[in-house]
């Protein structure tokens, strides 16, 4: 079933020797399916709370301590799906199919980087490798089963906060939002009970996915009522789903109580519980790059201090690096060649809440949209909690009203810069297409692909350089869903 807690890993046996003037690089990428195990069927397969590579005694599962351990494990799975999946994480997938990132290894598959790991019409609308899909399903199941354990075995425990149930509801809601924003219409959310059997479901439309997420966020606010942090986490998630549905007034209302300094993050490497921050390591090894104005429609990322996109002229020539997660924590200076394992990875924050409210204000014709944006530009820098990255000290001058025809473009550019590499860009472009009725060919990269220059230690640009971008705007599920879920019938459509 798609709901099984699959232990699908991308094994990237990579040796990087990165120096300022001499670089030797060896890369071999393999995708290894280590196994498909269901927590419901095999409690012994549960990940140990201290070391994800070991298992716990099944007798420890049905206890408050075991339930708390499942929460820790679920956080690890969420982190893996969101940012640690290398080429398959939410952040990377959103960035690569849009104009945020270019990928020198998978760049150009099927002739364009909008087809990377995405829908393959020759497979019934499903991509054939399942990259990303199984990681998000695994995170969804892990949060669902951790929630069940907390409800069954820890509700009356003095050592386990009841509000953790709200956190698991909320994070499950985020996994559903990721499916709705990244994938085609028709994603199944098969059910797996901690103590019962697998129950497959049909594919849900994109609208149904968003509404499912909204229901989970509502439950999170009830179950997590004792924790303002988890209520805010759910509130931002609910508003995000409502925004994607074009329900602007409801989205605005959902985040009214979220303070701008709110941040919910998972810190990779914390106490040894979570995996290495692979995205940061991939960047340091040159596995991702950035191109300004990619495919005609792309934004200029390198001139905005919020993104921390920068060049390393002595190492890369014209190549731009996405250094947002490769910033020295003591100096605040971006250094894309140095991986960071303890960087804060935000899933939701008050900055996003204000951006949602700004978009809602614009939709109703309220001039406060611009006031909100300028307030963020003046305050979300330096040590402010809402600052999107370390070391953001540059002054951001106020914006002037650009006039009615380009106000939406101005607002969406502000969202893009504030939320760079947080997994929002694909959802924003899809909203521009289906809510604001913009032509997809004016949003995603299009035209002739022109790759930036490579440094000497990189392979020569691929044959896709000079070819045409394709037209895919969404990803498809793992083709194996057809065999493991009898109710699954493929994508209903692949519309933006």
Based on its alpha-carbon atoms, the radius of gyration of the chain, rounded to whole angstroms, reads 22
Rounded to whole angstroms, the Cα distance separating 296 from 441 reads: 10
Residue 247 lies in a domain: yes
| Residue 276 confidence (pLDDT) | 60
CATH of the domain at 220: 1.25.40
Is residue 444 a contact partner of residue 473, using CB atoms and an 8 Å limit?
yes
DSSP-derived secondary structure letter, 452? P
Nearest alpha-carbon partner for 270 in 76, 54, 46 = 76
Residue 403 lies in a domain: no
| Residue 351 confidence (pLDDT) | 98
* Backbone φ and ψ of 307, nearest 5°: -85, -25
Residue 241 lies in a domain: yes
Percentage helix, strand, coil, to 5, in the chain?
40, 15, 45
Rounded to whole angstroms, the Cα distance separating 382 from 408 reads: 27
Rounded to whole angstroms, the Cα distance separating 131 from 134 reads: 7
Residue matched to tokens 């790759």: 451
Rounded to whole angstroms, the Cα distance separating 395 from 91 reads: 27
CA dihedral sign of residues 277, 172, 347, 163: negative
| Residue 315 confidence (pLDDT) | 63
- pTM comes to 0.85
Domain total in the chain: 1
Residue 461 lies in a domain: yes
Is residue 111 a contact partner of residue 471, using CB atoms and an 8 Å limit?
no
In three-state secondary structure terms, 77 is: helix
For the chain, the distance separating the N- and C-terminal CA atoms, rounded to the nearest angstrom, is 27
| Residue 319 confidence (pLDDT) | 76
DSSP-derived secondary structure letter, 85? S
Residue 375 lies in a domain: no
Is residue 381 a contact partner of residue 387, using CB atoms and an 8 Å limit?
yes
| Residue 107 confidence (pLDDT) | 43
Is residue 440 a contact partner of residue 107, using CB atoms and an 8 Å limit?
no
Residue 142 lies in a domain: yes
Residue 327 lies in a domain: yes
Q: For each of the chain's 496 residues, which pLDDT tens digit applies?
A: 433 333 222 222 222 222 112 222 222 222 222 222 333 333 223 332 222 333 344 566 789 999 999 999 999 999 999 988 667 899 999 998 999 998 765 543 333 344 433 443 333 333 334 568 999 999 999 999 999 999 999 999 999 999 999 999 999 999 999 999 999 999 999 988 787 778 899 999 999 999 999 999 999 999 999 999 999 999 999 999 999 999 999 999 999 999 999 999 987 654 444 546 778 888 887 778 898 999 999 999 999 999 999 887 666 566 788 999 999 888 888 888 888 877 888 999 999 999 999 999 999 999 999 999 999 999 999 999 999 999 999 889 999 999 999 999 999 999 999 999 999 999 999 999 999 999 999 999 998 887 665 555 555 555 566 778 888 899 999 888 988 899 999 999 999 9
Nearest alpha-carbon partner for 173 in 198, 200, 144 = 144
Nearest alpha-carbon partner for 389 in 325, 321, 335, 300 = 325
Nearest alpha-carbon partner for 137 in 195, 95, 218, 200 = 200
Residue 319 lies in a domain: yes
| Residue 104 confidence (pLDDT) | 60
* Backbone φ and ψ of 7, nearest 5°: -105, 70
Rounded to whole angstroms, the Cα distance separating 256 from 182 reads: 27
Rounded to whole angstroms, the Cα distance separating 186 from 490 reads: 7
For 130-173, give the DSSP string: -TTHHHHHHHHHHHHHHHHHHHHHSTT-TTS-TTHHHHHHHHHH
In three-state secondary structure terms, 361 is: helix
Residue 22 contacts by C-beta under 8 Å, 6 or more apart in sequence?
Answer: none
Is residue 315 a contact partner of residue 20, using CB atoms and an 8 Å limit?
yes
As to burial, measured by CB atoms within 10 angstroms (0-12 exposed, 13-18 middle, 19+ buried), residue 331 is exposed
Domain that holds residue 321: 6-357+420-484
């Amino acid at each position: 079933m798609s709901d099984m807690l699959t232990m699908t890993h991308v094994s990237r046996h990579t040796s990087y020797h990165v120096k300022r003037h001499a670089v030797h690089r060896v890369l071999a990428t393999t995708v290894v399916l280590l196994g498909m195990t269901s927590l419901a069927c095999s409690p012994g397969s549960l990940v140990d709370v201290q070391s994800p590579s070991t298992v716990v005694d099944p007798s420890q599962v049905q206890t408050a301590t075991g339930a708390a351990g499942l929460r820790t494990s679920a956080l690890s799975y969420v982190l893996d799906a969101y940012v640690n999946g290398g080429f398959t994480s939410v952040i990377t997938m959103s960035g690569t199919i849009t104009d945020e990132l270019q990928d020198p290894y998978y760049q150009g598959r099927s002739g364009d980087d909008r087809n990377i790991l995405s829908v393959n019409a020759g497979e019934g609308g499903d991509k054939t490798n399942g990259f990303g899909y199984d990681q998000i399903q695994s995170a969804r199941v892990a949060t669902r089963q951790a929630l069940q354990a907390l409800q069954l075995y820890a509700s009356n425990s003095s050592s386990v906060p009841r509000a953790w149930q709200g956190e698991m509801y909320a994070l499950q809601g985020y996994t559903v939002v990721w499916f709705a924003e990244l994938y085609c219409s028709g994603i199944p959310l098969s059910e797996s009970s901690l103590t019962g059997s697998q129950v497959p479901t049909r594919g849900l439309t994109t609208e149904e996915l968003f509404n499912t997420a909204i229901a989970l966020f509502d439950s999170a606010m009830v179950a997590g009522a004792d924790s303002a942090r988890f209520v805010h986490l759910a509130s931002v998630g609910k508003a995000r789903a409502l925004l994607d549905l074009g329900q602007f007034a409801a989205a605005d209302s959902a985040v009214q109580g979220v303070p701008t300094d709110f941040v919910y993050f998972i810190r990779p490497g914390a106490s040894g519980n979570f995996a290495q921050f692979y995205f940061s390591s991939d960047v340091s090894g040159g596995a991702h790059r950035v191109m300004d104005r990619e495919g005609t429609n792309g934004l200029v990322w390198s001139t905005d201090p919020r993104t921390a996109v920068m060049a390393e002229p002595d190492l890369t020539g014209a190549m731009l690096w996405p250094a947002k997660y490769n910033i020295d924590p003591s100096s605040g200076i971006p250094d894309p060649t140095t991986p960071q394992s303890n960087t804060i990875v935000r899933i939701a924050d008050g900055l996003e809440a204000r951006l949602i409210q700004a978009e809602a204000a614009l939709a109703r014709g309220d001039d406060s949209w611009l006031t909100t944006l300028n307030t963020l530009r003046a305050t979300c820098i330096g040590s402010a909690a809402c600052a999107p990255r370390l070391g953001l000290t540059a002054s951001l001058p106020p914006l002037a009203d650009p006039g009615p025809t380009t106000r939406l473009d101005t607002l969406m550019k502000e969202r893009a810069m504030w939320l760079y590499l947080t997994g929002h860009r694909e959802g924003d472009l899809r909203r521009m297409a289906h809510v604001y009725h913009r032509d997809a060919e004016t949003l995603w990269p299009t035209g002739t692909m022109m790759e930036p220059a490579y440094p000497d230690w990189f392979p020569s640009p691929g044959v896709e350089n000079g070819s045409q971008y394709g037209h895919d705007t969404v990803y498809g599920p793992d083709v194996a869903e057809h065999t493991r879920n009898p109710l699954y019938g493929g994508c209903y459509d692949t519309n933006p």
